[in-house]
Every structure is written in structure tokens, then in C-alpha cells.
């Protein structure tokens, strides 16, 4: 259904992300690349799982980050995945570049973009350990891992994740 201008004004910045043409395009590419993947995928459902877990962590840890910031980081953290499959660019790097474009178009401020992109750039790595100054890096990293149901996965024997990295608990 076509939206009128009034409705467009009212939609949240996060909603604008998921309706952004570049976002839709990259999601579609990821889905195609992962059609035969037996391991965890990087679907929209994964992004929503991460968003919701990250928001729970935000409440539990009293970080007071806004929903708009947390959901943006979660919805975008793996958006560079197709570029990793197709062009060999690490997905946190590709995702950071794609995210800058989308976040700018969706009305995020420069400060917000900087915090979100920093979290996306660091969502895979050991940097999160030194990042107590950036609560978003901390909860995005933790939520990303907690979202994976390694304890119930059929591809456990083939998975290259180390035991330390795997989520072996049903909690969260
Ligand atoms: Fe990732
Ligand atoms: Fe992820």
C-alpha cells in the first residue's frame, strides 16, 4: 500500500532502515548466497533476535541506550555479509560502509552514526573486550552470540566456531 506524506513523516528511523532500497537489496543478496548454507544464517530473523536480546541486555545493565540506536546496530550488523561471500570483503567492514549510507538517508545524526558504525565494525572481534566505553559494542557482541542456538544445532560437528564462542546455554 502506498504511504502518504503524513505517514512517511511518522515512521521511525528504524522503520526507514528496513524499507531502504539498499537494505532490501543486500538482504536479498544474503538470502541467495545462503540458500544452501547448513550453518547459522544472516536473515532478517537473526537481526531481530539480536535487536531484542540487545535491548534486554540494555535494560539489565542500565545502559539507557535508545531503541533507535540498538535496533539500528542490530538490523545492520551483518548487512555486509553478501559482500563477504561475493567480493571477499570482511562483512564488518562492508557492513560499516553500507550502514553509513543507509543511516544518513534515514535521518540519524553524525554522532549516532559514529556510535552505531563503531559497534558494527567491532561486532565480530576481540575489540569488544576493551570497549567498556562503548556500551553498544558490548551488548551487540553479546547479543549476536547469545542469539545463536548452538546447544540445539544440527551442524555442530561441522561448525568452525571455537567452544568458547559457542552459545551453549538456553538463557537469553
Ligand atoms: Fe557478523
Ligand atoms: Fe550476527
pLDDT tens, position by position, 44-64: 999 999 999 999 999 999 999
Angle CA(72)–CA(74)–CA(76) in degrees, nearest 5?
65
Ligand 1 centroid distance, CA of 100 (Å): 17
Task: Say if residue 44 is exposed, middle or buried (CB neighbours under 10 Å; 0-12, 13-18, 19+).
Answer: middle
Instruction: Read off the pLDDT of each residue in 116-144 and give the average, rounded to a whole number.
Output: 81
Q: What is the pLDDT of residue 172?
A: 65
| pLDDT at residue 1 greater than cutoff 60 | no
Any residues with CB less than 8 A from the CB of 109 and at least 6 apart, and which? none
In whole angstroms, what is the distance from residue 79 CA to residue 93 CA? 10
Q: Does domain 15-152 have CATH number 1.10.3210.10?
A: yes
Percent of the chain whose pLDDT exceeds 70: 90
| pLDDT at residue 129 greater than cutoff 90 | no
Which ligand is in closest contact with the Cα of 50? Answer: 2
In the chain, where are the structural domains located?
15-152
Ligand 2 centroid distance, CA of 116 (Å): 14
Q: What is the pLDDT of residue 82?
A: 98
Question: By C-alpha distance, which of 106, 105, 155, 115 is closest to 135?
Answer: 115
Ligand 2 centroid distance, CA of 78 (Å): 5
Instruction: Read off the pLDDT of each residue in 121-127 and give the average, rounded to a whole number.
Output: 79
What is the pLDDT confidence band of residue 39, given thresholds at 50, 70 and 90? very high
pLDDT tens, position by position, 63-74: 999 999 999 999
Ligand 2 centroid distance, CA of 8 (Å): 29
In whole angstroms, what is the distance from residue 149 CA to residue 63 CA? 25
Ligand 1 centroid distance, CA of 25 (Å): 18
Ligand 2 centroid distance, CA of 99 (Å): 15
Q: What is the mean pLDDT of the chain?
A: 90
Ligand 1 centroid distance, CA of 75 (Å): 11
Q: What is the pLDDT of residue 2?
A: 57
pLDDT tens, position by position, 77-118: 999 999 999 999 999 999 999 999 999 999 999 999 999 999
Which ligand is in closest contact with the Cα of 44? Answer: 2
Ligand 1 centroid distance, CA of 84 (Å): 10
Q: What is the pLDDT of residue 60?
A: 95
Amino acid at each position: 500500500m502506498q504511504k502518504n506524506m503524513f505517514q512517511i513523516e511518522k515512521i521511525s528511523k528504524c522503520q526507514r532502515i528496513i524499507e531502504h532500497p539498499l537494505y532490501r537489496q543486500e538482504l536479498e543478496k544474503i538470502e541467495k548466497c545462503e540458500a544452501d548454507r547448513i550453518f547459522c544464517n544472516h536473515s532478517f530473523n537473526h537481526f531481530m533476535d539480536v535487536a531484542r536480546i540487545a535491548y534486554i541486555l540494555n535494560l539489565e545493565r542500565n545502559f539507557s541506550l535508545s531503541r533507535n540506536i540498538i535496533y539500528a546496530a542490530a538490523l545492520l550488523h551483518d548487512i555486509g555479509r553478501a559482500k563477504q561471500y561475493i567480493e571477499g570483503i570482511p562483512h564488518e567492514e562492508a557492513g560499516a560502509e553500507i550502514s553509513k549510507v543507509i543511516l544518513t538517508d534515514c535521518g540519524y545524526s553524525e554522532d549516532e552514526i559514529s556510535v552505531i558504525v563503531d559497534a558494527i565494525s567491532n561486532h565480530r572481534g576481540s575489540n569488544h573486550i576493551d570497549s567498556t566505553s562503548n556500551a553498544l559494542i558490548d551488548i551487540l557482541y553479546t547479543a549476536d552470540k547469545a542469539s545463536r542456538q548452538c546447544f540445539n544445532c544440527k551442524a555442530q560437528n561441522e561448525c568452525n566456531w571455537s567452544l568458547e564462542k559457542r552459545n551453549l546455554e538456553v538463557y537469553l
